[in-house]
Structure 1
C-alpha cells in the first residue's frame, strides 16, 4: 500500500528497574522516542504466515525481528542509535498517510559481551495443587478444571521440563491413576513421561497445614502424609527422584509450622503469593531471607507478587507478554547492580497465584528469551538452592489462627475413636478399614470444603451405625424350660457384609447360667447359635436380658434385647413329692402294725380269760 510505513522507535534506556518497565507497559504515553527509522511497507519481506521481517543496524549490533534475513534484505539495513548496554523500550507503529493505525510496545536488551557480568538466578515454579478426587462410593473422579491444569502442565514440561521445578499433588496423581476414564489414563501416561524430564519437588500426600498440625499435636499425621506423598511419587515416577528438603507453602506459616518443617528435615521454604502476603510487603522479594528454628536456619524464598498476574495472562500475545516479563527481570537485575548489590545473591521465583500453569505458551516464550541471555539471567531449579545465609533478613512471623483446623481435627479424631471401637469386632484385613481410613485422611485436607467434609462424615457414621446394629436376636423370643436344667439357644443373625466377632452377655435373676458372657463370630449375612446351659431357680414367666458388645467388651453394640423364659417344672418339686409319699407310706405302715398289734393283744386277753 502506498504511503504505508512501519516505524521502529527506540526510547530512553530503562534505569528505574522493573517498575519502570511496568509503567511503560501500563501507560504508553510515558514512551518518548530518542531515535526512529521508517520502513516502506512495500519494501519489506513477508514470511509465509504473512508477518513482516524488519532488520535494523545498531552500530555493531543487528536487531532482527523474525527468524533471520534474506540476502536481498541485507543490502538496505537502517541504523538505530543506542546509548550503551541496557534495556530499551521499543515501539513499532504502522502508519498510513502519516496516521498511526496500529502500534505495539516491546523491549530490546543490548548486552556488551566483552564485559563480565554476574547473572541473577531465576526459578520458574509450576505446581498442580491438591484437590479431592474421592467420591462417597469410593470411586475417584477427575474434575474438568483439574484435567485442564494437568494438560497445561504436560504441554509445558514436554517443551521445557528441565528448566522448571515442578510439584504435583500425590493425591491428584493417585486419583488420576484410579480414574476409570480411558482419557484420564492416557493423560496419566503423558504426565508420567513429562515428569521424567523435570525437577520434581516432593510434597505431602494432600494439603495439611504444618502450623495447625504442630499446634494441635498432629505432627505424627503430618509426617505420615509427607511419607505417603513421597512414596506415591516414587512409585509412580520411578525415573525421577523428587527433591524432599524443599517445602512449598501455599498458606501462611507461623513459628510452630517452621519448627515442624525444620524438625522434619526441610532446609528451604518457598512461599507462594497467599503465604508470602502474610509477611507484609517487601521492597525486594529477590533479597535473601531466612527463618530460624532452634539451632537450625532455613532458607526462605518469597514469590515475587508483581509477576503473578502477568504469568496468569491468557488473552494477549504470548510473545509480547513474555518480552515484557523478560524485560522486567533484566531491568531488575540491572537495578540491583547499579545500586551496588550483587545480582547472583538475589533470586526471583516466578509462578502464578496457586502455581498452576495457566498459559504454557507464555512460559515457553519467557524461557526462550531468558535462555538467550545466560550472562544476565541464570535459569535454575529448586534442586540447587544455596545454603541459608546467616546475614539474610529474618522476617517476623505472625501467630496463625488455627481455630478452624483445630475444630476439623477434633471432629475427625472423635470419628476415628468411634471407628476404632470396632477394632476387636471387625477384621483388620477388611476393606472397610481401608475405605474409612482414606475418608478420614481426605477429610483432614485443607482444600476440602465444609460441605464435602460433612458428607464424608455422615456417610461414615451411617456405615458405622449399620455395622454396630448388624448382629441381632429376635426380640420377644420365649424359651420354655421343661425341667429344672435346660439350655438357652440364642440364634444370632448378622445382616452386614462383614464377618463380625462379638461378645454376648446374658443376665436374669431367675436363672443360674454356666457362663454369663461368651465371644462368638457371626458370619456375614448369616447366623450362629450361642448355647448357654441354665438352671431355673423358680417357676413361671420371667425376663432375660441379652446385650451385645464388641469382642473386647468395651462398647455395647445396639440396645439391650429382652427375651423371656417360661419354667413349667418347679425346682425341688420332685424331692418334695418323694418325701410326702414316703411319709404317707410310713404312716400307713405304722397304722397297719398298730392295728395288727391291737388285734393280737385282744386275742391273747380272751385266751387268758378262758383259762381262768
Structure 2
C-alpha cells in the first residue's frame, strides 16, 4: 500500500486542494482485486487548535449525507483514524500541505471505533484523544505545529481524508507574541432616500445582523469600519427592527475596535487635488461624532485610516491634517503598488504617513467561500505561528512585526471562517489578537514606497453642485425654530450627497430630492387665493390670513404692494404656528376708491428666497369719507347759488310788473 501511495503521489498533489477541502480521498486500488471504494464527503466541524500538554485533543467531524452515515455505522470495520505527523517549521510547508501535499514523518496514530466517538445532537462525531495515555491518544512531546490527518477507514482502507493542524505546547507561559489584527469594512447603500426619509433594505439589515453575530463570537478585539451614515440611519429609523439592531451593534462594539470613517465614502486623494478639503473635513468630523456616540465609553483612535481605495501622497497629506499617521490598504486598493517584501512590516507613503496592507495570499484565502472553514482557519493559524517562528529563527524582534488579516476587498470575513480563526489566534500563547488602531507609529527607517497617483472619482463635480444649494439652504433654515429637526437632518442630507459611490443619475435624484425638501417647506406657508377685501375709508386695516401646513412653526417675511394703496414701510416678519393660521393686520391708506389688485409675496426671513407663489388679491375701496364732504359741500354751494340767483331774478320780475309807469 505504501508503494501504491507513492506511485499515486503525483495525482494526489494535483487533486490535493479539492480533496483536502472536501474531505474526499481518491480511492486507492487494492492490488488483489482492483475494487474501488467510493469516497465520501466528510467535514471538520470543530477542533481545539491550541492544545496544552496534559489536556485533550478534540476533533468533531460530520458526514452530511445521512445514507452514508448509516452505511458507515452498519459496517463493523469502520474506524476513525487520526494521525499526527512531524511538525512544520515554515509557512511554505503549511501552504504546501494545505494545497494537498502529503505531510511527512508519521509520529503517532489513533484508531477509534465508532462506538468510542461521542455523538452530537446534529449527528456529528467527536473524538477525544489524550496527550499522555497509552491508548486513544496522540502522544506528542515537543512544542510545535503538527499536521493532523483524520480519515474514516473501512476494511483498513481510507474512504475520506481531512488534513488540519494543531498547536501543541508544554507551557502556557506567554512568550514573545506576534501581534495580529483582523480588520473589515462594512459598506452599505445610503440609508437616506432622495426625499429625505430613511429607507433601510432587508438585505442591509441582514448584513448588519451578520456583523453583530461575528462581533458576538467571543474572541476580541476585532477591528471593524462601518459607514457612519448607516448608524445614523438606524438611529433615525422608526422601525423597531432597526432600533433593536442598533442597540445590538452598540453592545457588540464595546468589546471591539471601531475604526474611523468619513460619514459617507469620499476619496481623500481626489479631495486634496480638487480643493474639496473642506468637504472631506466636514464628512470626517460628522463621521467621528456619530462613531463616538455609538462606541460607548471608548474613544475612537484618530491615528489609523483603513481604506478600500488607493491613498496616494495627496490623500495622505490630507489625512495627516486630521492626525492620521498610518494608512492601511486592502489588497485590492494596494494592487497598483506591487508586491512588498514583508507584509508584517510598515512602509511609508510620505515622511508623515505610514503604509500597511495584508499579504495577498492570506487575503485570497479569507475571501473565498470555504467548504471546510475550520480547516482553513487552522491552516491560517498554523501559517501565522510558523511566520512568527521564522522571525525568531532569523534573530528578528517579534513585537516589531504586525500582521493584518482582511479579505481582498476589505469586506467582512465569512462568520463560519472568522469565528474559529479568531479563537485560534486569541488562545495561542505565541500570538496576540490586537486592535488595528493600536498600530505603532512607523519610524523614519521604514521604506518609502512609490505610490502611484490614484485615479478615483472626481469629487469636485458633486461638491460644486451642492455649493449652489448653500444660500438656499441657509435662507430656508431661518424659517425654522431653533429646535426643529430639519436643522440637524438637512446638513446631514447635504453631506450624504457627497457619497463618491453615487452615479451621475443617482446624484441627480438626490440633488433634486433635497431641493424639493427645501421648496416644500417654504411652500407650506400660504395666503388664501381669490380673496377680496373691502376697505371702508381712506385709512383702514387690511386683515391678511396666513396658513401653515407644516408640522413645525415657520417664520416668513411678508411683502405686500398695490398701486392704489399705501402701506407702512416696515419689515413684516411673522411666525405662523404649525398646522395653524394667523391673521396679519396691516394699516392701509387708500389713494383712490374703486377695485384694484394687491400682490402678496412671502419670503424667507432674510428676504433672499421666495417662499411659495406670488398671490394676487382684490381690494374694493368704498367712497372715501373726506372727499365726499368736499363734493357734497360743493354741490350744496352750487345749489344755494342757483337758488339765490333764481330768487333774485323772480323778485326783479315781480317788481317790474308793479312799477307806476306801467300802471
Scaled to the shorter chain, the TM-score interval is 0.7 to 0.9
Question: Residue 547 and residue 383 in structure 1: after superposition, are their counterparts in 2 closer, same or farther (change >3 A)?
Answer: closer
2:73 maps to which residue?
Answer: none
Say which is worse superposed, 352-361 or 246-255, in terms of deviation. 352-361
1:306-361 CA-to-partner distances (Å, cap 9, x unmatched) read: 21232245542333112221233344445667778665443320023454544345
Q: 2:452 aligns with which of 395, 398, 406?
A: 398
1:551 and 2:605 are equivalent in the alignment = yes
- Tell me, yes or no, if the aligned pair for 1:149 and 1:357 is still in contact at 8 Å: no
Q: Which runs of 5+ in 2 are unaligned?
A: 1-75
- Tell me, yes or no, if the aligned pair for 2:88 and 2:94 is still in contact at 8 Å: no
- Tell me, yes or no, if the aligned pair for 2:267 and 2:456 is still in contact at 8 Å: no
Give the 3-state SS of the residue equivalent to 2:563 in structure 1. Answer: coil
In 2, Cα distance between the equivalents of 1:194 and 1:288?
A: 30
Q: 2:363 aligns with which of 286, 299, 308?
A: 308
2:98 maps to which residue?
Answer: 25
Question: Residue 198 and residue 599 in structure 1: after superposition, are their counterparts in 2 closer, same or farther (change >3 A)?
Answer: closer
1:384-409 CA-to-partner distances (Å, cap 9, x unmatched) read: 42222212122233334454533333
1:271 Cα offset (Å): 1.6
In 2, Cα distance between the equivalents of 1:319 and 1:417?
A: 58
1:143 and 2:202 are equivalent in the alignment = yes
Give the 3-state SS of the residue equivalent to 1:160 in structure 2. Answer: coil
Q: 2:557 aligns with which of 498, 503, 523?
A: 503
1:44-94 CA-to-partner distances (Å, cap 9, x unmatched) read: 9944247586xxxxxxxxxxxx552463418x98999xxx99877665655
Give the 3-state SS of the residue equivalent to 2:379 in structure 1. Answer: helix
TM-score by length of 1: 0.76
Question: Residue 545 and residue 191 in structure 1: after superposition, are their counterparts in 2 closer, same or farther (change >3 A)?
Answer: closer
- Tell me, yes or no, if the aligned pair for 2:269 and 2:314 is still in contact at 8 Å: yes
Q: How does 1:389-538 map to 2 (within 5 A)?
A: 389-401=443-455, 403=457, 405-446=459-500, 456-481=510-535, 483-515=537-569, 518-538=572-592
- Tell me, yes or no, if the aligned pair for 1:9 and 1:34 is still in contact at 8 Å: no
Q: 1:161 aligns with which of 220, 244, 251?
A: 220
Give the 3-state SS of the residue equivalent to 1:307 in structure 2. Answer: helix
Give the 3-state SS of the residue equivalent to 1:159 in structure 2. Answer: coil
1:265 Cα offset (Å): 1.4
In 2, Cα distance between the equivalents of 1:423 and 1:174?
A: 21
2:135 maps to which residue?
Answer: 73
- Tell me, yes or no, if the aligned pair for 2:79 and 2:113 is still in contact at 8 Å: no
Question: Residue 355 and residue 242 in structure 1: after superposition, are their counterparts in 2 closer, same or farther (change >3 A)?
Answer: same
Give the 3-state SS of the residue equivalent to 1:420 in structure 2. Answer: helix
Question: Residue 534 and residue 183 in structure 1: after superposition, are their counterparts in 2 closer, same or farther (change >3 A)?
Answer: closer
1:154-180 CA-to-partner distances (Å, cap 9, x unmatched) read: 445442124x33444444444445556
In 1, Cα distance between the equivalents of 2:450 and 2:612?
A: 54
Q: 2:163 aligns with which of 105, 109, 113?
A: 105
1:35 Cα offset (Å): 3.5
- Tell me, yes or no, if the aligned pair for 2:191 and 2:199 is still in contact at 8 Å: yes
Question: Residue 234 and residue 515 in structure 1: after superposition, are their counterparts in 2 closer, same or farther (change >3 A)?
Answer: closer
Q: 1:349 aligns with which of 392, 401, 404?
A: 404
Q: 2:340 aligns with which of 275, 282, 295?
A: 282
1:209 maps to which residue?
Answer: 267
- Tell me, yes or no, if the aligned pair for 2:130 and 2:138 is still in contact at 8 Å: no
In 1, Cα distance between the equivalents of 2:606 and 2:408?
A: 52
- Tell me, yes or no, if the aligned pair for 2:82 and 2:148 is still in contact at 8 Å: no
1:323 maps to which residue?
Answer: 378
- Tell me, yes or no, if the aligned pair for 2:262 and 2:283 is still in contact at 8 Å: yes
Q: 1:273 aligns with which of 331, 339, 344?
A: 331
Q: How does 1:227-242 map to 2 (within 5 A)?
A: 227-242=285-300
1:85-125 CA-to-partner distances (Å, cap 9, x unmatched) read: 98776656556567553223345779999xx9965432222
In 2, Cα distance between the equivalents of 1:539 and 1:371?
A: 92
1:362 and 2:414 are equivalent in the alignment = no
TM-score by length of 2: 0.71
1:289 Cα offset (Å): 0.8
2:118 maps to which residue?
Answer: 48
Give the 3-state SS of the residue equivalent to 1:548 in structure 2. Answer: strand
Tell me how large the CA RMSD over aligned residues is.
Answer: 4.6
1:561 and 2:615 are equivalent in the alignment = yes
In 1, Cα distance between the equivalents of 2:140 and 2:540?
A: 117
In 2, Cα distance between the equivalents of 1:43 and 1:403?
A: 63
1:262 Cα offset (Å): 0.9
- Tell me, yes or no, if the aligned pair for 1:202 and 1:243 is still in contact at 8 Å: yes
1:429-486 CA-to-partner distances (Å, cap 9, x unmatched) read: 2233334344334433456677776655554444433332333334444444554444
- Tell me, yes or no, if the aligned pair for 1:485 and 1:534 is still in contact at 8 Å: yes
2:309 maps to which residue?
Answer: 251
- Tell me, yes or no, if the aligned pair for 2:593 and 2:620 is still in contact at 8 Å: yes
Give the 3-state SS of the residue equivalent to 2:374 in structure 1. Answer: helix
How many pairs are equivalent?
578
Question: Residue 213 and residue 563 in structure 1: after superposition, are their counterparts in 2 closer, same or farther (change >3 A)?
Answer: same
Give the 3-state SS of the residue equivalent to 1:322 in structure 2. Answer: helix
- Tell me, yes or no, if the aligned pair for 1:130 and 1:207 is still in contact at 8 Å: no
Give the 3-state SS of the residue equivalent to 2:494 in structure 1. Answer: helix
Question: Residue 533 and residue 370 in structure 1: after superposition, are their counterparts in 2 closer, same or farther (change >3 A)?
Answer: closer
Say which is worse superposed, 520-529 or 260-269, in terms of deviation. 520-529
1:297 maps to which residue?
Answer: 352
1:38 Cα offset (Å): 8.0
- Tell me, yes or no, if the aligned pair for 1:480 and 1:567 is still in contact at 8 Å: yes
Q: 2:183 aligns with which of 120, 125, 129?
A: 125
In 2, Cα distance between the equivalents of 1:190 and 1:433?
A: 28
